[in-house]
Amino acid sequence: MNSALLRELVPAVIGVLVRRGADFASAEDAVQEALIQALEAWPDDPPRDPKAWLVSVSWRRFIDAARSESSRRGREIAMDLEPPPGPSSAVDDTLALYFLCAHPALSPASAVALTLRAIGGLTTRQIALAYLIPEATMAQRISRAKRRIADRRLNEPGDLHTVLRVLYLVFNEGYGGDVDLSAEAIRLTRQLVALTDEPEVAGLLALMLLHHARRETRTGAGGRLVPLAEQDRSRWDSRLIAEGVTILQTALARDRLGEYQAQAAIAALHADAATTTETDWVQIVEWYDELLDLTDSPVVRLNRAVAVGEADGPQAGLAALSDVSPDLPRHTAAQAYLHERAGDLGQAAVLYSEASRLATSTHERDHLTREAARVRQLLPP
């Protein structure tokens, strides 16, 4: 059985049910039940039209549930229970479902979970394992999300930027359980690229591909973090890099710059350099300037300061860093790095130690602790 085909059909089938009059939550539940039946029936008796089969079975599941609910409440269902025979609708509501699952009324965590379930076709168990939380907790999160958007229709306008942010959140979760969320985010973003004509969607896909190309070199034994400067660039995936750069160039040619295109341009410059010292840091600073104009993000300002330190020297980097709030995560780590580059090893060692205490993850804390020990060894007796 082609499980990938099944997952790609999920949003289209949900869209058909919603367009026929089902509410989103009931439609999504009915499709999930149809998927279970497909997994049991298709290996021995595959349908000629998989989408039509799923639509037919899902609709019957929905009608059965609706009739049961109607019977309990003592009222009739206000809709045509038997749709006309024939092939499934050619209307593709997948893009509208993206907007619905990333609705501003939902929290980021809920939007991510609902997107993976309704558009990605993942089971609640798979999503829970990926996020390392109990299945019951994830089920409650998804149920609350579906209730919150229960009255929203597919014809309501959506915010593409919110959709892209949700997909990027999925991508940054990486790998967990039996689901590779980074690969899943790339798959969904490819799907979105085919549905839209927006260069920012292509920019996000390029950014994901360029980051994903370095994935195998980012960590060492035991999950040990490997900084960009120390990564084995011969192990970077050149095929993904080439695809990402091509997609990015096409998007930039549209002359409608967005933040994901700017981030992808920075990632492409890193991918293009054979070594850290050969990196075009001047151009990276210029792209950070573009990104600041688009977002005015403190995180971008911090990353720009580090890039300035590479392009114009550590003192210039420290001067740029002085404009960034010291309360920002990784501010102290950036400060330590720039002080080390400036030759102030004593101050760098102190700052690395402080940064390790402020780290937000175990792997980051361990990395900064090792950096502090390394710099201390460089200090004169």
Using CA atoms, how far apart are residues 77 and 26, in angstroms rounded to an integer?
14
Q: Kindly indicate the confidence band of residue 43, based on its pLDDT and cuts at 50, 70 and 90.
A: confident
- DSSP character string of 131-170: TTS-HHHHHHHHHHHHHHTTT--TTS---HHHHHHHHHHH
Q: What residue segments make up the domains of the chain, in order of their start?
A: 3-77+95-195, 298-381
Which amino acid is present at 150? A
Pair 259, 221: CB distance under 8 Å: no
Nearest to 262 by CA among 241, 285, 282: 285
Taking only the tens place, the pLDDT of each residue in 259-314 is 999 999 999 999 999 998 899 999 999 999 999 999 999 999 999 999 999 999 99
Helical ranges in 253-313 per DSSP H: 259-272, 281-295, 298-312
Burial 308-343 (b: 16+ CB within 10 A, else e): bbbbeebebbbebbeebeeeeebbbbbbbbbbbbbe
Using CA atoms, how far apart are residues 206 and 6, in angstroms rounded to an integer?
26
Using CA atoms, how far apart are residues 245 and 267, in angstroms rounded to an integer?
9
Pair 184, 172: CB distance under 8 Å: no
Taking only the tens place, the pLDDT of each residue in 232-267 is 999 999 999 999 999 999 999 999 999 999 999 999
Q: C-alpha dihedral over 35, 39, 45, 46, to 10 degrees? A: 60
CATH number of 298-381: 1.25.40
The predicted model scores a pTM of: 0.84
Is 75's pLDDT higher than 50? no
Which amino acid is present at 153? R
Residues 6+ apart with CB under 8 A from 229: 276
